[in-house]
Structure 1
Amino acid sequence: MSSHPLPAKKGYDPRQRDRPNQKREEATDASLAVILFHPGPNALPADAQTSDALTGQVTSAEEGPMEGVLVSAKKAGSTLTVTVVSDQQGRYRFPRAKLEPGQYSLRIRAVGYELNGRAAADITPQNTATADLKLRKTQNLAFQLTNAEWIASVPGTDQQKTSLLNCLGCHTLERVVRSSYDATGFMQILQRMATYANQSTPLHPQRRLAERALEQRGEERQQAQRQQAEFLSAINLSSSSTWEFPLKTLPRPQGRATRVVVTEYDLPRPTIEPHDVIVDSDGMAWYGNFGEQTIGRLDPKTARVTEYPVPELKRGWPTGMLSLRPDREGSLWLGLMYQGAVAKFDRKTEKFQIWSLPPELNKDNTQINMTSPLHYAVDGKLWTQNNGIAAVHRLDLASGKFETFEPFKGSTKTHNIYDVIADSQNNVYFTEFANEHIGRIDAKSGMIILYPTPTPRSAPRRGMMDAQDRLWFAEYRGNRIAMFDTRAERFQEWVAPTAWSAPYDVAVDKNGEAWTGSMVSDRILRLDPKTGQWTEYLLPRSTNIRRVFVDNSTTPVTFWVGSNHGASIIKLEPLD
């Protein structure tokens, strides 16, 4: 982590808020000519010309050759952006298979720097184009910071900074620190924010119809909101025209983290929120729309997107879905959230089958987020949960009847059952996001056991069960990923290498490596559990990462994730 003094203001107002879903392409000087880079006949050796479509060196006056600069290329009129990373010599290379012939615009990501003028490249079928990129120091460092860098920069205790993680589900922290609200103004904002559904964004806000049963209320809530309002008004621009603290930045990628190709597929509308992305056996990428009543299919070869409308069962309630998980036959299962139901989508017939909660359970605060369909064939029953009442439901697929398990019934404390994940015998494990518990419900007896994680207040969020019945999950507030061996009843935790990574989910690949993504730092994290070695891949732009998925059919494996606030799907291909 490095610290930078605030740059002098030149032509921008730090009070100006960021626009939601804005793609932050680096600022360029309009007075500079657009530079077109054409292939030279003797620019590179013949073997390089056959393997690379575009190459070049990234340099700056301050550093000379620059490692870890993300270089992105987008063809005119295309919905695809391809990104590579410069190596230790500052050289970047686009494989020929990744760029078809045509005219491309280029942009970079390197915190503290921007392109010294616009850059473009003309890609031809045979030769290798060359584009050497000169960078200059940015005059607007604040515009480039990730949420993690803002959290690291602002003054405050760890407890105060942890409260900022609650802001990231709907918008960036930049909106907060650029605001000018005092504590009184923030109290009104926080009270209003509490009425929005968790899939809200600035482009598509949605109101809750009722509060969750087991969450803060009364004076306890008022006190928490007052404390947060005072903290937020101390780190924004309410008393000054500029920030009174240095801006801190994270280091650029190095070594193994530069050996990667990232492809980003734009989706048809900016309001699409691809919360969960998975890849089926045919290589198609499917996404659930967190804010709208649709799911979608992306063909990675053609970039064509097909959308399927999901039935709206409770008009007037918030729309959207959270989990998207396959069963062993390849059908897709969804939790329809405030619509109060579970859905199954048959990929072959392209038809939905719906199971709604009965009226006595289908209340204003009902929120069915997750399903666990992988092992329902064991007993014909599907596990799901209800965030509105901190409960777990079990659906008998033959009869359509629901059973309800309430581990925290009667509690006066805040509880939030986030994910449900079944083992090979269809016993279910759940994550308790408000605190630090992993829970187990025995499929035969219904007995409930709670296991506290080694890290207090770790906020277990989402995860997966591996073939050995080991539960892998992310600890959002604990800044860790963890594994719970369900047979030995033993935990193991790994601390993320970067502070305030706040991992959301975990996927384990065929090689035993664990992958997670940060909602906060725009980084994909790869862990070798045997050695404890981490690799962090930086993504090309601000990415609100949620569910993570690894496609094990490729070698090396391929990582997929949705940009939940950026209306795009991201494919990350490590080169080793």
Structure 2
Amino acid sequence: MLRSAVFALSALATLVLSKPLPEYEEVVQKLKTRQSTAPPGGQQDGDFTFYQMPSKLSGICDLCLGPDGALWGVQQLINQIMRLDPETGEVEEFPIPFSPGIGNITIPGLNGAFGGLIQDRLALSCAIRPGADGKIYNTNGARNQLVQFDPATREFKLFQAPVNPLGNLFPFNDIFTDDGGMWMTQTTANLLQYFDYEAQDFTITVQIPTPIALPLGVFVTSDGGVYGCEVLGNKIFEYKRDTGEVVEYNIPVPLTAPAVNRAERDGFMYFSGFVGNSLGRINLQTKEIEIFPTGEPAAFGSVTAGPSADGDVWMSFFTTTNGLFRFNREEEGTVERFPSLFTSSRSPFRLAQPLTNIPVLGPILGNIPPYLSISVEYGPGDAVWFGSFTRNAVGRLQL
């Protein structure tokens, strides 16, 4: 009871002291509560429902709740974005225009041409986020570009980041919006950049102080703070808008390798510990950092999301653990395991399913477990969504 009372007072203080959420975040919160049941078109097992991607070996990498209330994702291995309708379950795919990575030059129609026979498998796009301007944005992987997609017109625009030969040779960078633009990391270039919606151009470029820090995740907190994760630097960085300075905070546990930070709760920002198999958080006032081990061996924490309506923070696993980490307000962590429909060797969601009948090779492919569940996202609806590379599918957990 004492803990509950302390939590209630803490939550009240947070509400009083926090600044109002930006308007776009209020819209997102409304979209998350619209849907309480899984859309049709998937296969269900308990509280889980799974949706196959139309394109084979698409490599679903990241997911986001779009401004239209739908689930959007990036298919990394074929450089497409996809939309899953929360009402009908229909999945649409949109090939990102091919670009040689020189300026904003594109070759329309090349990616996905001839019924998908030609596919762009070299860009390795991953991160996708909604913009406060009503557009969908994703990174164009190793081509070091920001991709803008208009859900209303279904038109793409590509924006080349300031030329840097290092760029994103490690393509898992990240983006996150504030009211006026989109923040983007360049991992191997060791940079944080800002794309201004009004200018339609990059207007801020700052160097991360620690060399070869590999800045990956970036997140804008409810008070407007800009924070990111340094995978190799083993630090959390904060960009000070008033001075343009980047301040770094050391993580107390060696080899945590913070990766992606997309959750804020009760004055804390949460991030994944990639090598550390852990969930971490930083106190946004004191800057104190805490690490919570998942207890999962070699699982590699991937992406954080939430909090969900019940207050829980979520994290996906990159390897070995077929499930999602769930961290409640009592600071208790559990794993929501994927059901046998998704994990068994007889699952209808198998890697390269057309090849599973081939002697010798087929059984090997059929027994590859659904690892590489890189993404996790809360919403549409009161549900947690996730994607799987090796199952070529998106899953939904009803809460």
After TM superposition, is the score higher than 0.5? yes
User: How many angstroms does 1:565 deviate by?
Assistant: 2.7
- For 1:82 and 1:367, locate their aligned partners in 2 and report how far apart those are by CA, in whole Å: 33
- For 2:53 and 2:170, locate their aligned partners in 1 and report how far apart those are by CA, in whole Å: 29
User: How many angstroms does 1:427 deviate by?
Assistant: 3.6
Counterpart of 2:76 (choices 284, 287, 290) is: 290
- In the alignment, structure 1 residue 478 sits paired with structure 2 residue 306: no
- For 2:277 and 2:394, locate their aligned partners in 1 and report how far apart those are by CA, in whole Å: 25
Whether the aligned pair in 2 keeps the contact of 1:340 and 1:366 (CA below 8 Å) is no
- Structure 1 outlier segments of 4+, above 4 Å: 360-368
SS in 1 for 2:309: coil
- In the alignment, structure 1 residue 510 sits paired with structure 2 residue 309: yes
SS in 2 for 1:569: strand
Identity of aligned residues (%): 18
Q: 2:176: which partner in 1?
A: 372
Whether the aligned pair in 2 keeps the contact of 1:357 and 1:402 (CA below 8 Å) is no
SS in 2 for 1:264: strand
Whether the aligned pair in 1 keeps the contact of 2:53 and 2:392 (CA below 8 Å) is yes
Q: 2:384: which partner in 1?
A: 559
Residue 443 of structure 1 aligns to which amino acid in structure 2? Answer: R
Whether the aligned pair in 1 keeps the contact of 2:78 and 2:121 (CA below 8 Å) is no
Whether the aligned pair in 2 keeps the contact of 1:423 and 1:469 (CA below 8 Å) is no
Whether the aligned pair in 2 keeps the contact of 1:317 and 1:339 (CA below 8 Å) is no
Alignment of 1:43-442 (within 5 A): 80-84=42-46, 261-280=47-66, 283-314=69-100, 318-359=122-163, 365=169, 369-373=173-177, 375=178, 377=179, 380-399=180-199, 400-408=201-209, 411=211, 414-424=212-222, 426-442=224-240
User: How many angstroms does 1:342 deviate by?
Assistant: 0.9
1:427–1:454 distance in 2 versus 1, CA, 3 Å: same
Which has the higher mean CA deviation after the structures are superposed, 359-368 or 342-351? 359-368
Whether the aligned pair in 2 keeps the contact of 1:523 and 1:538 (CA below 8 Å) is yes
Whether the aligned pair in 2 keeps the contact of 1:342 and 1:368 (CA below 8 Å) is no
- In the alignment, structure 1 residue 525 sits paired with structure 2 residue 353: no
Whether the aligned pair in 2 keeps the contact of 1:332 and 1:345 (CA below 8 Å) is yes
Whether the aligned pair in 2 keeps the contact of 1:341 and 1:357 (CA below 8 Å) is yes
- In the alignment, structure 1 residue 550 sits paired with structure 2 residue 378: yes
- For 1:83 and 1:300, locate their aligned partners in 2 and report how far apart those are by CA, in whole Å: 18
User: How many angstroms does 1:318 deviate by?
Assistant: 2.0
Q: 2:111: which partner in 1?
A: none
User: How many angstroms does 1:478 deviate by?
Assistant: 1.3
- For 2:203 and 2:147, locate their aligned partners in 1 and report how far apart those are by CA, in whole Å: 14
- For 1:300 and 1:486, locate their aligned partners in 2 and report how far apart those are by CA, in whole Å: 34
Report the count of equivalent residues. Answer: 311
- For 1:448 and 1:358, locate their aligned partners in 2 and report how far apart those are by CA, in whole Å: 19
User: How many angstroms does 1:553 deviate by?
Assistant: 3.6
SS in 1 for 2:262: strand
Q: 2:105: which partner in 1?
A: none
Residue 80 of structure 1 aligns to which amino acid in structure 2? Answer: G
Larger Rg: 1
Residue 44 of structure 2 aligns to which amino acid in structure 1? Answer: V
Counterpart of 1:534 (choices 331, 334, 341) is: 334
Residue 548 of structure 1 aligns to which amino acid in structure 2? Answer: V
1:393–1:338 distance in 2 versus 1, CA, 3 Å: same
Q: Deviations over 1:322-350 (max 9, x none)?
A: 11111345421111112221122221222
SS in 1 for 2:260: strand
Q: Deviations over 1:498-543 (max 9, x none)?
A: 3333221111213221111222211112121324252432342222
Which has the higher mean CA deviation after the structures are superposed, 317-326 or 264-273? 317-326
Residue 310 of structure 2 aligns to which amino acid in structure 1? Answer: N
Structure 2: 5+ residue runs without aligned partners?
Answer: 1-39, 102-119, 344-368
1:262–1:437 distance in 2 versus 1, CA, 3 Å: same
TM score, norm. by length of structure 1: 0.50
Q: Deviations over 1:294-353 (max 9, x none)?
A: 111122554322111212221699223111111345421111112221122221222223
Whether the aligned pair in 1 keeps the contact of 2:79 and 2:121 (CA below 8 Å) is no
- For 1:567 and 1:424, locate their aligned partners in 2 and report how far apart those are by CA, in whole Å: 34
1:492–1:552 distance in 2 versus 1, CA, 3 Å: farther
Q: Deviations over 1:244-300 (max 9, x none)?
A: xxxxxxxxxxxxxxxxx2111111122211111233465522111112221111225
- For 1:354 and 1:313, locate their aligned partners in 2 and report how far apart those are by CA, in whole Å: 9
1:559–1:388 distance in 2 versus 1, CA, 3 Å: same
- For 2:97 and 2:225, locate their aligned partners in 1 and report how far apart those are by CA, in whole Å: 30
TM score, norm. by length of structure 2: 0.70
Residue 300 of structure 2 aligns to which amino acid in structure 1? Answer: A
User: How many angstroms does 1:560 deviate by?
Assistant: 0.3
- RMSD, matched Cα: 2.7
SS in 1 for 2:142: coil
1:364–1:466 distance in 2 versus 1, CA, 3 Å: closer
Whether the aligned pair in 1 keeps the contact of 2:168 and 2:187 (CA below 8 Å) is no
SS in 2 for 1:353: strand
Residue 138 of structure 2 aligns to which amino acid in structure 1? Answer: L
- For 1:440 and 1:332, locate their aligned partners in 2 and report how far apart those are by CA, in whole Å: 25
1:564–1:461 distance in 2 versus 1, CA, 3 Å: same
1:353–1:567 distance in 2 versus 1, CA, 3 Å: same
Structure 1: 5+ residue runs without aligned partners?
Answer: 1-77, 85-260
Residue 51 of structure 2 aligns to which amino acid in structure 1? Answer: Y
User: How many angstroms does 1:461 deviate by?
Assistant: 0.7
